[in-house]
Structure 1
């Protein structure tokens, strides 16, 4: 039976460990999503490359390879569980000696990279759909006034696409907060890892995880409501 007294005692003794774990969770999430945004933009750009008839064979071949690699990256990472990706990336990298002098920093680095790669696969689709939602005439008009493809994307298309991308990007941040819990499996001291450690030390196997769940809820629920409110406000401003 769940005991409120045990929850209070665990929090009084180990509360600072939980807060450290939550801090690591948020830090990993921020870095992983930042990496995911960069990768997502690059991969979306690669997948949106057009094979033009006026391209020379070499350029057309390069574009085809880039599109294939970007598509394969997205499909593989979206079709496999995050925990499998974490194991493969972490143990493959450390197995060939790609590690830092500090073991904790090594685990943190490869955990962030693994989650960031996974996030990039999903965000690339978000970015691609956000750009695709901008009317095609916008790009044509920008090119007609002398803008290059890059300038047209930077100053005309992307600012409009951000409105479509922002809600999904915020939701991805909330999702990654929860998904970082799998990093406990490779020893990264985020919130779930702290709960497991406390459970092992105290031989109490329910209450430590209830505290962790309450902390996840305390962070995720308000963020979800805030994102929903911002999204509604943005939708209203569009319809006016």
Structure 2
């Protein structure tokens, strides 16, 4: 393999080949003119001015020097041997916290879960759930079984309890389990319906003697059974009616109140 200095020399020679040949041609031309002048008789001053050859134009020396310097720098960059630079690899920061399988397992254990039974050495309480009729129990969205249900070891905290029976609307509640205590839940399912009451003129509405609002009135989730409805307004005779709220149905009542007679 050629040495770097030989490569540089060959590169410089190829780069300035045209300039060197042009300089040689200019020197030969100058020498030829000089010899011709020596062989010719001495001309008069006027003939010398007429026959004086035009001076050979040469390239500016400054531009040639700058071009030469640029060529040397370029040649040194491409032909001079370079030491391979290895990429630096930053060592890991040992002070930064490292995620381990154990820490991930701990994080998973902290997430809310429907599985409420835990180890007895943790802070726990009890949970008793009953329903009439029998219902399916869901704890934090996870099915746990059917009522009656007793959970003796439950991690302390809040839980969403949902009871479902195919013949009734589902029922939900939020309970808090405290350490060393037993929380009891009991629910009786009822079928529900809707009551809609309108009156001309408007009046106050009572159901089994309890005020529930004024017309126009819509009340949802009323337990299905028989009720005594009353609509009253000052200066008008009361309107009363016995009605039945049926499961999943809407009971509509339209009333026209009459003024009291003296």
| Larger Rg computed on CA atoms | 2
Structure with more of its chain in helix, by fraction: 1
* TM-score over 0.5 for the pair: no
Q: TM-score range by the shorter chain?
A: under 0.3
